[in-house]
A and B are shown apart, each in its own frame.
Chain A
Amino acid sequence: MKILVAVKRVIDYNVQIRVKEDGSGVVTDNVKMSTNPPDDNAIEEAVKIKESGKAAEIIAVTVGEEKAQETVRKALAVGADRGIHVKIDGTVEPLAVSKILKKIVEKENPDLVFMGKQAIDDDCNQTGQMLAAHLNWPQATFASKIAVNDKSLQVTREVDEGLETIEVNTPAIITCDLRLNEPRYASLPNIMKAKKKPIEQINASDLGVDTNPRIEHIKIEEPPKRKAGIKVESVEELVQKLKNEAKVI
């Protein structure tokens, strides 16, 4: 079995986001960037499946600017075998990413495609489902548990009501929840080894895909600030405030 894992480079989840004063976006200069957190779970799951003997090869793919390659390199350091970097500058909407990934899937013919359930920058939660649609493959989103069979997977999904289990035949797209597994750290020897693993570079413009944005960002602004609250000294005071001042109990 061959597994393709899509990863995205985003502002690190610990960074306090700052909005640019001109309303054109958020500050990314000199800001720490990392792999989108649930994409780390996607890589981890693929590596675990390979370690169990059920997969032969893992390919990590990213779509983005020059530096996006770092996320592929990181995936190689934790166990992916080779990488693909589809180069494209500027905003790439999930619809365009899904069309690019479709081309990569057609080229590589994987049995499974894994990725995070959502990117923590645009919070769109679209790419996996869109890729599944383009390929007419089944989708199992928000996966928190995966059991691999011969020609199918049983996937437990985190849904509003609790947990749902579905079975999807391969080939399939799986989007991963943070609770799917505990991503490993790359060891220094593996980081060194990863530097020798191949990353194929492809220009998005060579794939014959329409990547023009369809959504205009008119303005990016800071959300309204909450007015500063107070500290109360005791539980009695808290209950009195909630009853008489806030009037919520």
Chain B
Amino acid sequence: MSVLLIAEHNNKEVKPFTLNAITAASQINQDLHVILIGSKADDVAKSLSEVPLVKKVLHVDHEIYENYIAENYTAAILKHADKYSHIICSANTFGKNLMPRVAALLDISQVSDIIKVISPDTFLRPIYAGNAFATVKSNDEKKCVTIRPTSFEAAETTGGSAEIVKIDAADISENTKFINREEIKSDRPELGTARIVISGGRGLQSGENFKLITDVADKLNAAIGASRAAVDAGYITNEHQVGQTGKVVVPDLYIAVGISGAIQHLAGMKESKVIVAINKDGEAPIFSVADYGLEADLFEALPQFLEELNKLNTIQK
């Protein structure tokens, strides 16, 4: 049987984590179909069909799917679930919201947030905020799996020509209504996929002081992250939060500034390739995961850091 991947998109483009999930899904079974549920999303269907790892695109296009409502997506997915051995999507807020609803109605015990495919029924997943790794085997006949996107490479997006099959819409729920979405537009790289992330914590002391972080981020073309403490204190908005209940990031370079390094924050960044910690408390736990630790007052260190970066002839983009 084939595997079915649920695409995340905004009716214009595929969201990047769907490409990571495609890679993981194809490791389970190469006969990979993608279901696209949207409204006027023909461009998305076309771009999915061009992903070489995708063998077929199931496209349901109806105005009721203009906004993503888990209840309505679930009904559309269930109409096709019986033909597939696995139903898969990314373990971001999209997939976390959706997949358990699908799994429950199929009477499947979902495997959440896998970081490795060991075999079609056995997976590796972090538990306890990444302080333990569990190898788990699903004994359900059919499987529902969500993928930690940063643990898999993004799939190639060109060269494929999968068949696009139109499918019918399902019933909609009258009990859930979309009101609005406040998306913060930014020219910066996305936090989840950026090559460099610079994050600020409580040590920044105010929202205004985040400008010190922003200036370095501009120079390095980095995404901006934050600890939960900084978000709770109102220094910066929630979509920047890195950690167990925020986003998990795996950049080439992660710079933690004024972040003490609670277990819950480490869970979101400790797989980064190179970690830098700048903190004036030499005993802060963040130093235990840092490749390069600088014990310094961030209000002096960050402007100096920017100055030194400006001296470099070239900076990798």
> Which residues in A have their C-beta under 8 angstroms from that of B132?
17, 19, 26, 220-223
Closest B residue to A226 using CB positions: B289
Residue contact B128 to A232, C-beta cutoff 8 Å: no
Interface residues of A in 128-160 (CB under 8 A from B): 128-134, 137-142, 144, 154, 157-160
Question: A242: CB under 8 A from chain B?
Answer: yes
Residue contact B316 to A179, C-beta cutoff 8 Å: no
Closest A residue to B122 using CB positions: A218
> Which residues in B have their C-beta under 8 angstroms from that of A177?
245
Closest A residue to B291 using CB positions: A229
Interface residues on chain B, number (Cβ under 8 Å): 91
Residue contact A129 to B175, C-beta cutoff 8 Å: no
> Which residues in B have their C-beta under 8 angstroms from that of A234?
294
Q: Which of A126, A144, A179, A213 contacts B110 (CB 8 A)?
A: A126
- How far in angstroms is the closest Cβ of chain B from A152? 8
Question: B162: CB under 8 A from chain A?
Answer: no
Question: A21: CB under 8 A from chain B?
Answer: no
Residue contact B293 to A120, C-beta cutoff 8 Å: no
Interface digits, B139-179 against A, CB 8 Å rule (1 contact, 0 not)?
11000000000000000000000000000000001111111
Question: A188: CB under 8 A from chain B?
Answer: no
Q: Tell me the bound Cα distance from A232 to B239 in angstroms.
A: 31
Interface stretch, picked from A45-53, A74-82, A166-174, is A166-174
Interface stretch, picked from B46-54, B57-65, B66-74, B200-208, is B66-74
Question: A124: CB under 8 A from chain B?
Answer: yes
Q: Which of A94, A96, A120, A121 contacts B100 (CB 8 A)?
A: A94
Residue contact A243 to B312, C-beta cutoff 8 Å: yes
Q: Tell me the bound Cα distance from A16 to B111 in angstroms.
A: 24
Interface digits, A197-214 against B, CB 8 Å rule (1 contact, 0 not)?
000000000000000011
Q: Which of A125, A139, A226 contacts B71 (CB 8 A)?
A: A139
Q: Tell me the bound Cα distance from A132 to B71 in angstroms.
A: 9
Dominant secondary structure of chain A at its interface with chain B? mixed
Residue contact B176 to A246, C-beta cutoff 8 Å: no
Interface digits, B231-262 against A, CB 8 Å rule (1 contact, 0 not)?
11000011100001101000011000000000
Interface digits, A58-81 against B, CB 8 Å rule (1 contact, 0 not)?
000000000000000000000000
Interface residues of B in 70-96 (CB under 8 A from A): 70-71, 74, 92-94, 96
Question: A239: CB under 8 A from chain B?
Answer: yes
Dominant secondary structure of chain B at its interface with chain A? mixed
Question: A178: CB under 8 A from chain B?
Answer: yes
Residue contact B275 to A218, C-beta cutoff 8 Å: no
Residue contact A162 to B97, C-beta cutoff 8 Å: no
> Which residues in A have their C-beta under 8 angstroms from that of B253?
242, 246, 248-249
> Which residues in A have their C-beta under 8 angstroms from that of B245?
38, 117-118, 177-178
Question: A161: CB under 8 A from chain B?
Answer: yes
Question: B112: CB under 8 A from chain A?
Answer: yes
Chain A interface: which size bin? 35 or more
Q: Indicate whether A165 sits within 8 Å of B312 (C-beta atoms), given known contacts A95-B108, A141-B97.
A: no
Question: A122: CB under 8 A from chain B?
Answer: yes
Number of A-B contacts (CB under 8 A): 260
Q: Which of A124, A169, A241, A249 contacts B220 (CB 8 A)?
A: A249
Most buried by A among B98, B110, B275: B110
Q: Tell me the bound Cα distance from A243 to B293 in angstroms.
A: 15
Q: Indicate whether A123 sits within 8 Å of B135 (C-beta atoms), given known contacts A167-B176, A229-B291, A229-B293.
A: no
Q: Which of B109, B282, B305 contacts A214 (CB 8 A)?
A: B109
> Which residues in B have their C-beta under 8 angstroms from that of A123?
112-113, 126-129, 244
Interface digits, A221-245 against B, CB 8 Å rule (1 contact, 0 not)?
1110010011110111011011100
Interface residues of A in 7-42 (CB under 8 A from B): 11, 13-14, 16-17, 19, 26, 38
> Which residues in A have their C-beta under 8 angstroms from that of B282?
231
Residue contact B312 to A98, C-beta cutoff 8 Å: no
Residue contact A158 to B100, C-beta cutoff 8 Å: no
Q: Tell me the bound Cα distance from A220 to B231 in angstroms.
A: 32
Most buried by B among A160, A168, A216: A160
Question: A163: CB under 8 A from chain B?
Answer: yes
- How far in angstroms is the closest Cβ of chain B from A116? 9
- How far in angstroms is the closest Cβ of chain B from A151? 10
> Which residues in A have their C-beta under 8 angstroms from that of B295?
231
Residue contact B274 to A246, C-beta cutoff 8 Å: yes
Q: Which of A94, A161, A220 contacts B184 (CB 8 A)?
A: A161
Interface residues of A (CB under 8 A from B): 11, 13-14, 16-17, 19, 26, 38, 93-96, 98, 117-118, 120-134, 137-142, 144, 154, 157-169, 172, 177-179, 213-223, 226, 229-232, 234-236, 238-239, 241-243, 246, 248-249
Q: Name 29 interchain pairs, CB-CB below 8 A, sorted by A.
A: A14-B263, A126-B100, A126-B112, A129-B98, A141-B70, A159-B239, A160-B93, A160-B192, A160-B247, A166-B69, A166-B176, A166-B178, A168-B175, A214-B108, A214-B138, A215-B137, A220-B127, A222-B132, A222-B133, A223-B131, A226-B270, A229-B290, A229-B291, A229-B292, A231-B287, A238-B276, A242-B253, A248-B252, A248-B274
